[in-house]
Amino acid sequence: MSSIRKTILDVLDSKHPENVKELILLVQEQVESSTEEIQQQIKSLHKQGLVTLEEPTSHQSFFSFIRNKQSLWFWIILVISAFSLFSILFINETQTTLAYIRYSFGFVLVAFLPGYCLTEALFPKNQTLDLIERITFSIGLSFAITALVGLFLSFTPFGLKLSTALPSLGGIVIILAITALVRKYQKQ
């Protein structure tokens, strides 16, 4: 394998360039080659199936962005949040088989969703963190956010009850999800 090809694959693996132009510049920093030679090698790697080239996605408006597959995570978060709120409010704890659904969705609402939305807002580009780091941040931040919501509610006249904690946590998840969606739109 030529040094240009190896450098291209190394740069793709380590630096995650946004586009071909950035890839060429990163390769030229490491190898003395012309732009045309690097482009030919990239095309060759693409024909062999070692490199995937995609059309750049630029969205004209925010509304077209939220209908794109890049925003699918946002809609999944909203659906899971709605199921969580619905199951906690309308499934009785005494119904043994349905109670497991309530506990499962409640656990996801408390232990994952707030932190996941905050992680997406803080790190809007997918290349910043890998999957394990995102999951770890999501769980840790979720417990921190949930504890802060509980602490805050305990000092209010409403107190810390299911009827106050559920809308507060659900509202925070939705606000953080919208914030993350806007940040991802701005960073595209």
pTM: 0.67
Task: Please indicate, yes or no, if residue 53 is contained in any of the structural domains.
Answer: no
Q: And the tokens for 155?
A: 């000092």
Q: Return d(Cα 113, Cα 82) in angstroms, integer.
A: 12
Pick out the chain residues at pLDDT < 70. Answer: 1, 54-60
- pLDDT confidence of residue 114: 96
Question: What domain range is 18 assigned to?
Answer: 3-47
Task: Specify burial of residue 79 (Cβ count, 10 A radius: 0-12, 13-18, 19+).
Answer: exposed
91 and 33 part of one domain:
no
37 and 103 part of one domain:
no
127 and 164 part of one domain:
yes
Q: Return d(Cα 168, Cα 142) in angstroms, integer.
A: 13
Q: What are phi and psi of 49, to 5 degrees?
A: 85, 10
87 and 176 part of one domain:
yes
- pLDDT confidence of residue 9: 86
13 and 96 part of one domain:
no
- pLDDT confidence of residue 15: 81
- pLDDT confidence of residue 58: 58
Contact 90, 152 (CB under 8 A): no
CA nearest 145: which of 118, 125, 177? 118
67 and 121 part of one domain:
yes
42 and 89 part of one domain:
no
Domain count within the chain: 2
Given the structure tokens 């807002």, which residue do they identify?
121
- pLDDT confidence of residue 155: 94
